Amino acid sequence: MTHPDKIEIRGTLMSDKDLSALTWMRVGGPADWFFMPADEDDLATFLAALDPQIPVFPMGVGSNLIVRDGGIRGVVIRLGRGFNGIEIDGNRVTAGVAALDAHVARKAAEVGVDLTFLRTIPGAIGGAVRMNAGCYGAYVADVFVEAQAITRAGERVTLTADDLKFQYRQTDLPDGWVITRATFEGSTGDPAELVARMDAQLAKRDETQPTKDRTAGSTFRNPAGYSSTGRADDRHDLKAWKVIEDAGMRGATLGGAQMNPMHANFLTNTGDASAADLEGLGEEVRKKVYEHSGIELVWEIMRVGEPAGK
């Protein structure tokens, strides 16, 4: 097997790539290697040739991610141009993983397919599938048909819902596997009504969430009241922001990190936070909430990589 820079590729490969500018939080150290494949064939060839001992981390648009200050050992794979197409056939929508959730929702609505719940979810389709993203009582699991992926060994596979085992804010995708596209099936709706619904959702989001601040979306999962697919959670009374607020942690700070005053479940980089500040404040919130209510909050933001100095 082969070192990354010895593999013949058509895409882009860089060493010691700074990842901070690629995450919404704008923090994090470098990746040992950073690969942007030209297409699925390029990705499959690269993974098949890559030394199996070298870790692989698929990275989307960094909307729900903290990269630690020491960076990521191994290869970060980011799918960009060539992986953002959207095809619609009847009520089925197939989207590349780099297609933004909001763009998929808009394109589907134009032809009367209801995937409106995706409109306010930050990020791209790959992360939405991986995390079973959802809001307003609808989840990826509700509309998912299948996904195409490349395994760590470079094999092409089709994944069903049974393969992914959708749960609340997670799936069972094996380490190193890279989803390349996914197919969804939405219900039929009037295009004008779907657009109006999305506009209302956006207005509600902007009224209640700090959409102009540097955040990574919801920091912690809502602590209780969900089914195996997560459908019930958005309607449950017990919310992460409420238990954080009850523990006195709304607006709490550590270095440049803050639990947003507008919405207590939004961890925020106020300008000069390190990844250590952000993760440290999150852990302090978890501690205070547990001391106050006995509830153990679970991170929704993915944290990856090594601390500084490692």
Q: Catalytic residue at 169?
A: yes
Identify whether 300 is a catalytic site residue: yes
Helix or strand or coil: residue 170?
Answer: strand
Catalytic residue among 68, 130, 274, 300: 300
CA distance 175 to 27: 23
Asked if 87 is an active-site residue, the reply is no
Give the separation between CA 130 and CA 161, rounded to whole angstroms.
Answer: 11
- 16-42 as b/e, with b when 16 or more CB fall inside 10 Å? ebebbebbbbebbbbbbbbbbbbebeb
Instruction: Indicate which residue of 218, 221, 274, 279 is catalytic.
Output: 218
Q: Which two tokens stand for residue 111?
A: 């032809």
Of the candidates 106, 169, 214, 286, the residue annotated as catalytic is 169
Report how far Cα 155 is from the mean position of its chain's Cα atoms. Answer: 24
Q: Are 269 and 300 in contact (CB under 8 A)?
A: no
Written as six digits, the tokens of 93 are 């929508």
Measured between alpha carbons, how far is 140 from 186 in angstroms, rounded to an integer? 10
Residues labelled as active-site residues? 169, 218, 300
